[in-house]
Each structure stands twice: as C-alpha cells, then as structure tokens.
Chains A and B, each alone.
Chain A
Amino acid sequence: MVRLKHIFTCIAFLCLNITVFAQQQEDQDFFFRSGKYYVVAAVLVILFILLFIYLRRMDKRVKKLERRA
C-alpha cells in the first residue's frame, strides 16, 4: 500500500513537471507547431469522423430492418 502511495506521488510529480513544461510552451499551441501541419491532420480526422457517424446511423437503420424481417 505504501509502495502504491509512493508510485502515485511519483506520477503526480511527473504530471506537475509536464504541466510546467506545457506552461513554457504555452505560446506555441500544439496545432501551431510544424507550420500548422496538425491542423490539416485534424481537419481530415473531423471529415472522417462525420462520415463515419453518418454511415453508422445508416448501419443502425439497416440493422433494425434486419431484425424485423
């Protein structure tokens, strides 16, 4: 139990470290890095998530049809 506590404290401190690091980088948002390339990636992800949602809804309607038959 004590060991677990130590591990948690350790992780908490690590997280603190990360937040401090993040604060240093605050002026450079993730999406502003590498010439804003991640914005392109995110746009593609949004595109496919929406397409997926639409197809999933159609899938559900077909499933309902299948159950009734």
Chain B
Amino acid sequence: MSTFPFKKNWWKYLGALLVIYSIVIGTMTKVGPGVVRVSPSHVDGRYDFEIDIEGYNTSFTKLDKGKNQKNELTVWVKLGNTFNRANLADIIDDNHIRCYFRPIDLIVDSAYSQTGSVVIEDKHHGIFLGPDMIHVDFRPDKDNGLRQLVNQGEPPYKMQLSYFSFPYRYILNETIRNLNFHVPMWFAMMAMLLVSFIFSIKYLRTRSVSDDIWANGFAKVGLLFGIMGIATGMFWANYTWGTPWTNDPKLNGAAVAVLMYIAYQILRSSLEDENLVGRISAVYNIFAFPIFIVLIIVLPRMAEFSLHPGAGDSVGFNTYDLDNNLRKVFYPAVLGWILVGTWISQLTVRVDKLIKQDEEWYG
C-alpha cells in the first residue's frame, strides 16, 4: 500500500493539470498584431500608390519616427513569391499607418490582377501579415515590352512574431482563444462515446451488469460534453457569426447527435426489466455511435459550405496558425478534458453501482 497520491491515479492529476494549463495559457496569451483593413483594397500597380493600413493590437507610435525608422518598421506587399517593399511608412497612430509604394513592374502580356498579402515587420512585434488583403492590377505596357521587377525589396527574414501569441483573425479577434475551450468538448465527447460504444459491445458478449453501467456512465458524460460544446458554440457564434444558430452542417449534425444520446437516456429510464435495459440500450448505443461519427465528422466534411473549419472550401488550422501556438494549447486541452471526462465517468459509474447495490439489498 502506497500513500503516494500519484501512483494509481496519476492520470487524474495529469488531466486536471492539463485543463488548468489550457485555461491559464489560453486566457493569458496575447493575441498577436494583425491587419484589419487595407484601403484602398484595389490599387493600380503601374503607378505610385499609397495604402492605409489599420492594425489590431499594434503599437506603431512606440516606434522611432526619426531617421532610423527604416529598421523599425517595414511594409511589403507580397504578390506570389515577390516582396514589394514600401518606400515610406507614415505612422498616424497606434493602429494606423500610411504606406507609399513605387510602381510594381511585372512582365505581363495581358490585363492582369493579382491578390497580395500585406506583410509588416515591426521592431516590437516581429513579422505579421494580413493575408490576401490587396488586389493589384497590371496592364501590359506596349512601350517597354520587357521590364524588370524594380521594386523587389529584401524579403523578411522569418515569418514569425517575436513572442508567444495567438494569431489574429478578422472578426474573431480575442475569441480565437475559444478554440481551446469549445473544440476540446467535441473531442472529449467523441472519446467518451467511443468508450461507451466499446463497453456496449462488451456487454453484449459478457452480459455483465457492470459493463452496462460503464457504458451508461461514459454515455452520460459524453452527453454532458455535447451540451457543453453546443452551449459554448452558440455563445461564441452569437458574437462572431452574428447569430447563435445557423444552418451549418456541423451545427445540425451536433444537435441531432446530442438529441440521439438524450434519447438513449430516456430509453434507459423507460424500461423496467434490467436485462431488457441492458440489451436494448447496448444495441441502441452500438447503432448510435457510427451515426454520431457520420453526423459530426463525415457529413460536415462532405458539405460544400460550412462556417466551421475543415469543410468544403473553408480554411483550417494550418492557414492561419503560423507559429503553431494554438496547437501548443489545443492538444493538451483535448487530452486534459478527455482525462477529466474519464474521471467524471468513473465517479458516475461508482455512484450508479452503489445505487444498484443498494436497490438489490433494500429493494
């Protein structure tokens, strides 16, 4: 008998620790600077042009305005793989700069327009960018058929911010952190329901009441995570998509999935005979789980349009998490919530077993 508390239940401590880590780091980390708006968003690349850039979480006035400005603030318009450096960047206030560009010369045969990103290097923050924010037009120049890229500046050294931060996303702003709190709910739900599914199969093989109770315990906590995911998602959506509920395939799938597992609980409580409860709910659970996976993963992925990442034409993780900082919080959060969910399931199972025992003894 060891009194060392970590020996047998180390995973509970680990789970609690990971959840605490994800909440602390997920709320404390700054959201890095970003580009909110570029105006005008359409410029003619053949002539001198100027653009106003509105930043988020930027602190341009802290930069030196003197003659050393060149080392403090550099702005590029990135077209394809070429970086076109601004001649001059005027600091207006903390969140606004005005940049002046020389003509961008490209060798083109026909009228041509390209979408470019704005890349900013700032001494305090490092390098950040506004992806696909500016359209540059070119028309062929008959007089000088062949022209060179005259304005190609030195590309930035490394596309990275100089400190640990979450990426800035337009409209999402600070709520990008919710990725670490909302999405792990669904991962935890899937894990809980998978375990419940396995116990249901095991029950049909062994017909042991214990397996049935385990399957039910995990299904209950899976349902809890589903409700937590929907509630947090609706609140988040209300302030980013503008409405708590849209006709998104993932939303509808999740709602049906949650209803399916509520039905599972109702089914269990509606049957009297113990053997019948076990068998019918095990069969229901075995059928419900694959449908749940189809509803929540397969169908949204096949959908043509979804507001959620990873479906149809929408962007996923990779496109905006430049330095993988979200992942450093997200994956521990997923593991942490799965472990904590397992812990709660175990508690539920223990209580259920005691109740069962109590009923057998006292009737």
Interface residues of A (CB under 8 A from B): 29, 31-32, 34-37, 39-44, 46-47, 50-51, 54-55, 58, 61-62, 65, 68-69
Q: Which residue of B lies closest to A59 (CB)?
A: B351
Pairs across A and B, CB under 8 Å, 5 listed: A43-B181, A47-B185, A47-B232, A50-B227, A51-B228
Q: B residues within 8 A CB of A43?
A: 178, 181-182, 232, 235-236
With the chains together, A41 CA to B181 CA distance in Å? 11
Is A44 a contact of B181 with CB atoms below 8 Å? yes
Is A39 a contact of B236 with CB atoms below 8 Å? yes
- Flag whether B276 is at the interface (Cβ < 8 A): no
Given contacts A35-B174, A36-B173, A54-B344, contact A46 B231 (CB under 8 A): yes
Is A65 a contact of B175 with CB atoms below 8 Å? no
Is B358 a contact of A65 with CB atoms below 8 Å? yes
Given contacts A40-B27, A43-B181, contact A31 B362 (CB under 8 A): no
Q: B residues within 8 A CB of A37?
A: 174-175
Is A36 a contact of B181 with CB atoms below 8 Å? no
With the chains together, A69 CA to B355 CA distance in Å? 11
Q: A residues within 8 A CB of B240?
A: 36, 39
Checking B23, B56, B354, B362 against A44 with a beta-carbon cut-off of 8 angstroms, the contacting residue is: B23
Is A35 a contact of B56 with CB atoms below 8 Å? yes
Q: Which residue of B lies closest to A61 (CB)?
A: B351
Q: Which of B56, B174, B354 has the most CB of A within 10 A?
A: B174
Q: Which residue of B lies closest to A44 (CB)?
A: B181
With the chains together, A50 CA to B239 CA distance in Å? 20
Chain B interface extent, by class = 20 to 34
Q: Which residue of A lies closest to B23 (CB)?
A: A44
Checking A39, A44, A62 against B174 with a beta-carbon cut-off of 8 angstroms, the contacting residue is: A39
With the chains together, A47 CA to B184 CA distance in Å? 11
Q: B residues within 8 A CB of A50?
A: 224, 227-228, 231
Is B235 a contact of A69 with CB atoms below 8 Å? no
With the chains together, A54 CA to B265 CA distance in Å? 14
Checking B27, B224, B232 against A46 with a beta-carbon cut-off of 8 angstroms, the contacting residue is: B232
Is B351 a contact of A68 with CB atoms below 8 Å? no
- Binary contact readout B238-261 vs A (1 if CB under 8 angstroms, 0 otherwise): 011000000000000000000000
Is A65 a contact of B355 with CB atoms below 8 Å? yes
Q: Which residue of A lies closest to B234 (CB)?
A: A46
With the chains together, A49 CA to B44 CA distance in Å? 54
Q: What's the minimum C-beta distance from A56 to chain B, rounded to whole angstroms? A: 12
With the chains together, A61 CA to B348 CA distance in Å? 10
- Flag whether B177 is at the interface (Cβ < 8 A): yes
With the chains together, A42 CA to B235 CA distance in Å? 8
Is B227 a contact of A36 with CB atoms below 8 Å? no
Given contacts A35-B31, A47-B228, A47-B232, contact A40 B351 (CB under 8 A): no
With the chains together, A42 CA to B236 CA distance in Å? 9
- Flag whether B299 is at the interface (Cβ < 8 A): no
- Flag whether B294 is at the interface (Cβ < 8 A): no
Q: B residues within 8 A CB of A55?
A: 344
Q: A residues within 8 A CB of B227?
A: 50
With the chains together, A2 CA to B363 CA distance in Å? 66
With the chains together, A32 CA to B362 CA distance in Å? 56
Is B27 a contact of A44 with CB atoms below 8 Å? yes
Given A36-B239, A39-B235, A47-B181, 18 more A-B residue pairs with CB atoms under 8 Å apart are A29-B239, A34-B174, A35-B31, A35-B57, A35-B173, A35-B174, A36-B175, A37-B174, A39-B174, A40-B175, A43-B182, A43-B236, A47-B232, A50-B224, A50-B228, A50-B231, A51-B228, A54-B224
